[in-house]
Structure 1
Amino acid sequence: MKRDKNYLKWRESVINRDKCCQICKKNGKNGKGLNAHHIIPRNFIKYAYSLKNGLTLCAGCHTLAKYSAHKHPLWFTNWLKINKRTLYNTAMERINENP
């Protein structure tokens, strides 16, 4: 995704809302070292900039660790279901309306 102003605003809003990695609780200095993860893939443009489609993760929990959101999406989905039920339910509703 091109780092346009809408993306940058979405990223900043997600990180400001969550303050730290929602899995391991690491926090970055002024948001540095933190990533905004799209729960529903960002190619679903309708939801790309929705705050309900974002979750703050550190680099490890986002892409680097064995059980990261990108390396192990099934694990991440299960984690989301257990730990962030509202975001999980919103994502499932949105996916079901766009089969």
Structure 2
Amino acid sequence: MPSQSFCDHIRWWFCTANPECSPRAAITAITILLYISIVLLYALCYVPMVFEKPCRILDKALWSLCRTIGYLLWKICCTSRATEDNDTMKKHCRQNRY
């Protein structure tokens, strides 16, 4: 029985660990793993620093907008009802002020 090549019988992705079987696959696998690890490090370490300030500014703007809308709705609600029935609604608005 003639001898056969070991690499011809095993054609899995495990063969990329042996550069003698398929050097191109080994180089490609190492390159992809290196690229993925660099991208993960970049995403975990640098991206949060870059996006932190714009997210804080957006958060403050949205919070201020919600507070302003809430205040205006409260003001409209209490003022319009207070003109209808001055005594009870003014008293109600003063008691429920935050």
TM-score by length of 1: 0.20
Structure whose alpha-carbon radius of gyration is higher: 2
Q: Structure with the greater relative contact order (CA < 8 A, sep ≥ 6): 1 or 2? A: 1
